[in-house]
Each structure stands twice: as structure tokens, then as C-alpha cells.
Amino acid sequence: MRGRRAGLALVLGLTGAAFGVGRATPFATSSARVERGRYLVAAMGCGGCHTPKTLGATGPKSDPARFLAGHPEGSALDSAPVLPQGTWTVVSSWDSTAFAGPWGVSYAANLTPDENTGLGSWSEETFVRALRTGRHMGASRPILPPMPWGAFRNLSDDDLAAMYAYLRTVPPVRNRIPEPLPPAGAP
């Protein structure tokens, strides 16, 4: 009897796997979900813009103490240069956490789970909605360039949820990001 049950379980399991039933919950454990999120955040290069840098002998280097903390609070920037008409339309700060272009000046957001200055108060739904709609918190001001939210909106719900789960595990960093600035000459 025990052998029959084991055989039946094996047949049902293989049949379910063959037809995708076993994939109904792709992230069986939260650690697998977090690891998937870690992979996606790294593969998509989120730290390139969202991690402040230090300047060393070989140039800018990501500051691990401020991983994904966004544009450094209090970091003084001169006014963005006005570029002449032509093929160059975008400039960045030396550490690639602030950008200026036809939209004005935008700053890389704090993606850490800090409650007051990062994503700590965001729910998973808010995070997913922001990346699907291109709106801050999924409802307010536009998410400005160069943030490629238009590409991120094509990720699956599971992938966006995995990214959110991973971002909840990074150390929170208190770092208030400035509000975006309108283009020069805008009312």
C-alpha cells in the first residue's frame, strides 16, 4: 500500500510539473524570492545610479556604506550646465546620482527601507504600481529620466515583488533626496 501511494504521488507530481502546476508559487521560500530580487537589482545595474560614490585614485567607486541610498543629502551641486542645441542633451553629476536634461534636474531615489527617506513606508503594491505607471508612489509626480521605468514595467509581477523583497533587506540609510527641479526657464 505504501509503495502504491509513493508511486501515485510521484506520478501526480511529475504530471503537475509537466503542466506547470508546480510553478503556481515560483518563490517557495522568502529567501529564494529575496535572492531573485538581489539578482535582478544587480543585473539591472540599480546601484550604478542609486549608490553614491567616493572618489579614489582610479575614479568613482560605489560606497558600500550608502548602498542604494540615492543622491547624497546635502551634496552641493552647481546649477546644471546649459547645453547648446545639438546631439548632447543630458549630463550627470560626477557620481551619477543626479541628472539634468530637458526635463530639468532629477536625483536618484533612496531605495533603502528607511521609513522616512527611503522605501520603508512603501507597500509592495505601491512599489509595483510606481514601476508600472511611472509615477512616484504609483500616483503622484512622474518618475523622471534617466530612470528606465518604461523597461521595468515589462517585468513580471513576481520579479517586481522579488525586487521589493530584496530591497527590504538592505540596510536602511537615512538620506533625504532633493525634490526634482524644473527645466531652466520653466514657470
The answer as to whether 68 is a domain residue is yes
| 14 part of a folded domain | no
Q: Cα separation of 98 and 138, whole Å?
A: 21
104 domain-assigned: yes
Give the count of domains, the chain. 1
Specify if 103 maps to a domain.
yes
DSSP state of 119: S
Residue 183 in any domain: the answer is no
The answer to the question of residue 102 being in a domain is: yes
Residue carrying the nine cell digits 534636474: 105
Q: Does residue 105 fall inside a structural domain?
A: yes
pLDDT digits (tens, 9 = 90+) for 124-171: 999 999 999 999 988 889 999 999 999 999 999 999 999 999 999 999
Residue 43: domain span: 27-167
- pTM for this entry: 0.80
Report which residue type is found at 150.
Answer: G
DSSP for 67-107, written as a single string: TT--SPTT---PPPPPPPSSS---EE-TTSSEEEETTEEEE
Q: pLDDT (tens digit, 9 = 90+) per residue, 69-128?
A: 999 998 878 777 777 888 888 999 999 999 999 899 999 999 999 999 999 999 999 999
Q: Residue 127 domain-assigned?
A: yes
What angle separates helix 30-43 from helix 157-167, to the nearest 10 degrees?
90
